[in-house]
Amino acid sequence: MKRILLIIAVVCAPFLTKAQFNWGHNYVEVGVGGGVMNYSGELTNSIFDFKHIHFGGALFGRYNVGQFLSVRLQLALGSISGSDADSPDFRNRIRNLSFNSHLFEGALIVEANLMGFQPRGHEKMFSPYIFAGIGVFNFNPSTTHFDPNLDQQRVFLQAINTEGQGSSTFANRTPYAKTQISIPMGIGIKYAVSSNISIGFEVGFRPTFTDYLDDVGQTYPVNALTGEPFYDQTPYLAGQYGNKSTQELFADKSYSFILEDLKARGLVGDPNLNTELATHIEGMSLSEFLNYITPYIDNPNNAASGSKDEAALSEYNSYINARGGNLVRGDKLNDWYVFTMITVSYNFIENGLVGFRKRRKRKAGCKSSQF
C-alpha cells in the first residue's frame, strides 16, 4: 500500500507544482454519482467478481483549485457480498461461507487533472485524472440462518465471534470494529458538457486495514497444535444439530455442504460412496445429520469397522482434509472494496455565491465611481 501511495504522489507532483503557477479560476461543484460496488476478499474470486456486484450511489462537493487540482468531499452508500458457492475452487465450496453487508463511506479525496480542467469559457473541457485520499466506512457482515425454520433470516456475524474473538482462549483476537479506515485511490475521466455541467466516470479502489469485511480472516477457534475446538459449548437447541452452539454452526458451515454433496453423489450412484450410507442419509435434515455424525467425530472408536458409520466418518474427514484441515478459515490479506461510478456535477463558476459576490463587487465599484 505504501508503494501505491508513493507512486501516486510521484505522478501527482508535477501537476501540483504546475498548478502553483497556473491556478486559473477557483470554483465549487456539487454532484451525484451512481454505479456499482464490489469487494475482494476470502469469499470472491477476484477484485472484479461480476457475480457479486451491487448498486451504489454518492453525493459530493468538489473545490477546484485551478486547472490541475481538486479537493472532493464525498458520501457514498452501497453494499457488498461474497459466497463460497460461486468459487471454482472445491476447497472453498466445502468451506461454504457467505455474507452480505451495507457499506457507508465518507471520504476526503484529492484529484489531479492530468491535462488540466477548466470549463469556464470552454477552455479545457476534458481531462483524465487520478485521485487518492482517506475514507471512513461502516459495514456489518451478515448471512442467512442455518436453521430451515428461520431460512432467509439475516444474522449479523460480528456479534457471534465466529473466530473466537473476545474469548480468554484467544486473548490477541478482539472483536473487529465495524467502522474502519480506507484509502480511496483510482483513475477517472471528466468532461464539461457546458460551462456549468460536467460528467465523469471513475474506478475507485479502496484498500482497507481489516480482513473482516466478509467476517473471514484467520482460523477457526481451535487449538493449532491439538485441533481441540474452543467453541462456545451452549447448544443452539438441546438435542438437535449435534448439540453444537450457535457460534460453531455459523463459523463452520462445511457440515451442510458435506451433507448435500453426499446426497448428490448418492443420487448419481457414485461407486466410491458406501451404498448403505447413501441410503441412510437420504432425506436427512442438517440437524439429523449432525446428530448422526457428531458422536463419531468426537469419538472415532464408536464407529464399527466396515460399517456405514465408519464410512461416514471417513467421508467427513476426507472433505475436511480437502478443505485444508480444521484450522485455516481465511488465507488472504486485508480486504478491498471497489466503487465504480458515473458522475454528474454542477459548478458555480458564474452563479451562486461565487458569481453573486463578484457581481456585488462590480456593482459596488460602479456605485462608488458615481461619487
Instruction: Give the residue-averaged pLDDT of 241-252.
Output: 97
Tell me: do 278 and 345 sit in the same domain. Answer: no
Tell me: do 16 and 49 sit in the same domain. Answer: yes
Residue 316 lies in a domain: yes
- Residue found under cell 459548478: 347
- 63 C-beta neighbours (distance < 10 Å), count: 13
Residue 163 lies in a domain: no
Instruction: Give the residue-averaged pLDDT of 179-190.
Output: 98
Contact 287, 222 (CB under 8 A): no
Residue 107 lies in a domain: yes
Tell me: do 25 and 107 sit in the same domain. Answer: yes
Residue 370 lies in a domain: no
Residue 133 lies in a domain: yes
Specify the pLDDT at position 361.
Answer: 53
Provide the pairing of β-strand 179-182 with 154-156.
unpaired
Contact 277, 308 (CB under 8 A): yes
Residues 54 and 273: their CA atoms lie apart, in Å, by 40
Tell me: do 283 and 341 sit in the same domain. Answer: no
Tell me: do 276 and 133 sit in the same domain. Answer: no
Residues 323 and 300: their CA atoms lie apart, in Å, by 20
Specify the pLDDT at position 368.
Answer: 43
Residues 353-371: tens digit of each pLDDT: 444 444 455 545 544 444 3
- Total domains, the chain: 2
Instruction: Give the residue-averaged pLDDT of 284-289.
Output: 97
Residues 304-346: tens digit of each pLDDT: 999 999 999 999 999 999 999 999 999 999 999 999 999 999 9
| Residue 101 phi, psi (nearest 5) | -155, 145
Tell me: do 59 and 185 sit in the same domain. Answer: yes
Tell me: do 352 and 257 sit in the same domain. Answer: no
Residue 236 lies in a domain: no
Q: Which residues form the domain of 113?
A: 2-140+178-218+333-362
Specify the pLDDT at position 359.
Answer: 45
Residues 219-246: tens digit of each pLDDT: 999 988 888 889 999 999 999 999 999 9
Whole-number Cα distances in Å, 295 to 47, 102, 199, 290, 298: 41, 39, 63, 9, 5
Tell me: do 211 and 265 sit in the same domain. Answer: no
Tell me: do 86 and 185 sit in the same domain. Answer: yes
Tell me: do 315 and 343 sit in the same domain. Answer: no
Residue 170 lies in a domain: no
Determine what percent of the chain is predicted with pLDDT higher than 90: 77
Residues 241 and 256: their CA atoms lie apart, in Å, by 11
Q: Which H or E run contains 46?
A: none
Q: Which amino acid is at 53?
A: I
Tell me: do 193 and 272 sit in the same domain. Answer: no
Q: Which amino acid is at 279?
A: T
Residues 73-108: tens digit of each pLDDT: 999 999 999 999 999 999 999 999 999 999 999 999
Q: What's the pLDDT band for 6 if we cut at 50, 70, 90? A: low
Tell me: do 337 and 314 sit in the same domain. Answer: no
CATH of the domain at 96: 2.40.160.20
Specify the pLDDT at position 355.
Answer: 45
Residues 14-53: tens digit of each pLDDT: 544 444 444 457 999 999 999 999 999 999 988 888 899 9
Specify the pLDDT at position 142.
Answer: 98
Q: Say yes or no to pLDDT of 5 above 70.
A: no
Distance, first Cα to last Cα, the chain: 63
Determine what percent of the chain is predicted with pLDDT higher than 70: 88
Instruction: Give the residue-averaged pLDDT of 268-284.
Output: 96
Specify the pLDDT at position 140.
Answer: 98
Instruction: Give the residue-averaged pLDDT of 252-260.
Output: 97
Mean residue pLDDT across the chain: 89
Residue 371 lies in a domain: no
Specify the pLDDT at position 370.
Answer: 40
